[in-house]
Amino acid sequence: MDLDEILGPRPGDPLASLLAEDLDRLSVSELEARVAALEGEIARCRRKIDGAVNHRASADALFRR
């Protein structure tokens, strides 16, 4: 079981703060900039995931021989 499931989100968690932020105060251009920044962060996370998966596959292949 994950600690976050037991304890709940950490206080001051930036992701939780981001998700709870009021979007009504932002202009269209600010919302578009936010979306672009979040899409960039999603791409960065996907690259990290791909790298981790490839690293794991390489290690598995190395130790299976």
pLDDT of residue 54: 86
On whether residue 53 sits in a domain, the answer given is yes
Domains in the chain: how many in total? Answer: 1
Residue 21: name the closest of 45, 5, 40, 37 by CA: 37
In a domain, 32, yes or no: yes
pLDDT in tens, 3-59: 667 766 667 888 889 999 999 999 999 999 999 999 999 999 999 999 998 888 787
With respect to residue 48, please indicate whether it lies within any of the assigned structural domains.
Answer: yes
User: What's the pLDDT score for residue 21?
Assistant: 94
Q: Render the burial of 16-32: b for 16+ CB within 10 Å, e for the rest.
A: eeeeeeeeeeeeeeeee
DSSP reduced 3-state for 37: helix
Residue 4 lies in a domain: no
Q: What is the C-alpha to C-alpha distance for residues 65 and 58, in angstroms, rounded to an integer? A: 11
pTM: 0.65
What's at 47, amino acid-wise? R
